[in-house]
Structure 1
Amino acid sequence: MREIIAGGLSFEEIKEEHLAEVLDIYNYYVLNTTVSFHTEPQTLPEMRNSVLSGDPRFKSYAILQNGVLEGYVLITRHKNKQAYDTSGEISVYLKPGSSGRGIGGQALRFIEERAADLKFHVLVATVCADNEPSRRLFTRHGYEQSALFKEIGHKFGQWLDIASYQKIIGQSSSS
């Protein structure tokens, strides 16, 4: 499935041929930033397991601009308990140098539409509290901070906080 958006931006389900580039993007954040709480680079099999879940509700999409991979966006299981099945966790990773061009916002709109089609009710995003660009992105697109966990991770010799943001995208029901 491929969906074309304005400005040559398109989204397609991640396939095997995208994995090496997706891994490079993710490992950049592992090695150079506090965006990811991994401290060791991920391997290709680990990335494959992360983005190719096999579950039809939890999908990962390559973000392409004029055919060039600019990043990826995914919706994963929030918690592995049945009552959470209407909630999804979303993440957006852009290739270094691709931020500030509106790609992240378009990726959020895209994944929200997919999540709504799949009958998700709530989307959750968890980011390092130091990651101001991501915090602004989610806030600007209607996500509300719902949690702040202090000193929950340790990387690069510093304690790190995480902030969770959520957005209700489904209709509330009284059931």
Structure 2
Amino acid sequence: MDNVIINIAEKSDIKEILEIYSYYVLNSPATFEIDIPDINEFSLQIEKIQNKYPYLTAKINGKTAGYAYAAPLRTRKAYDYSCETTIYLHHKYLNKSIGTKLYTSLFEYIKQMNILNIYACITYANTESVLFHKKFGFQEAAHFNNCGYKHNTWHDILWLEKIIGSHKTPPAPFINFNDLKL
């Protein structure tokens, strides 16, 4: 889709982002969240992520069609060179290249931050997401069996990883997303 606009998420986007996420909470094991978070809790999660990492939206004709973000893999300082990524698309906009545009933009920011390792945690049954990530060069790093129970079924998860830089000693300093010269 040529009319997709990728932007940094704003407070005015949160309601539509939550609507997209809510669909997956209720209808899919793509997230292990069981209950839809309230708007205030969800807003705080986004704000916390945006203190350090990019959180992007994809819009078509002003309507949010998807979102993607980077977040800490772990909270200790030594993990600054690694991040976890998440992507959700409105269920009506799957397989329309929106995810590709979101991830391409997200990875550009991640590289500018001097992050070297990108990880994604995916429910094993979500083969579309696994294939999507592998298209971007992710490889399986770990497989955990029966670690989540949702919709009366046990689910495995996969951790996928993508190395995007050289692990030099010392590494280039981590740059907070908010400190990038955009």
Question: Above 0.5 in TM-score?
Answer: yes
Offset of residue 167 of structure 1:
0.6
SS in structure 2 at match of 1:127: strand
Comparing 41-50 and 147-156, the one that deviates more = 41-50
SS in structure 2 at match of 1:101: coil
Select which of 21, 25, 28 maps to 1:30: 25
Aligned residues: 170
Matched residues, percent identical?
24
Asked if 1 retains the 8 angstrom alpha-carbon contact of 2:56 and 2:102, the reply is no
Comparing 49-58 and 87-96, the one that deviates more = 49-58
Letter in 2 for 1:172: H
Determine which structure has greater relative contact order: mean sequence separation of CA pairs < 8 Å that are 6+ residues apart, divided by chain length: 2
Offset of residue 143 of structure 1:
0.5
CA-based RMSD of the aligned residues comes to 1.4
Aligned partner of 1:171 in structure 2 is 166
In structure 2, stretches of 5+ residues that fail to align are 171-182
SS in structure 1 at match of 2:114: coil
- Separation in structure 2 between the aligned mates of residue 41 and residue 48 of structure 1, nearest angstrom: 13
Q: List aligned pairs for 1:32-47, cutoff 5 A.
A: 32-47=27-42
Q: Report the TM-score when normalising by structure 1.
A: 0.92
Q: 1:54 to 1:150 in 2, by over 3 A?
A: closer
- Separation in structure 1 between the aligned mates of residue 50 and residue 62 of structure 2, nearest angstrom: 26
Q: 1:7 to 1:55 in 2, by over 3 A?
A: closer
Aligned partner of 2:174 in structure 1 is none
In structure 1, stretches of 5+ residues that fail to align are 1-5
Is 1:66 matched up with 2:64? no
Select which of 61, 74, 97 maps to 1:79: 74
- Separation in structure 2 between the aligned mates of residue 56 and residue 86 of structure 1, nearest angstrom: 16
Aligned partner of 2:123 in structure 1 is 128
SS in structure 1 at match of 2:101: helix
SS in structure 2 at match of 1:130: coil
Offset of residue 107 of structure 1:
1.4
Select which of 3, 7, 24 maps to 2:2: 7
Asked if 2 retains the 8 angstrom alpha-carbon contact of 1:52 and 1:59, the reply is no
Aligned partner of 1:3 in structure 2 is none
Offset of residue 56 of structure 1:
4.4
Is 1:51 matched up with 2:46? yes
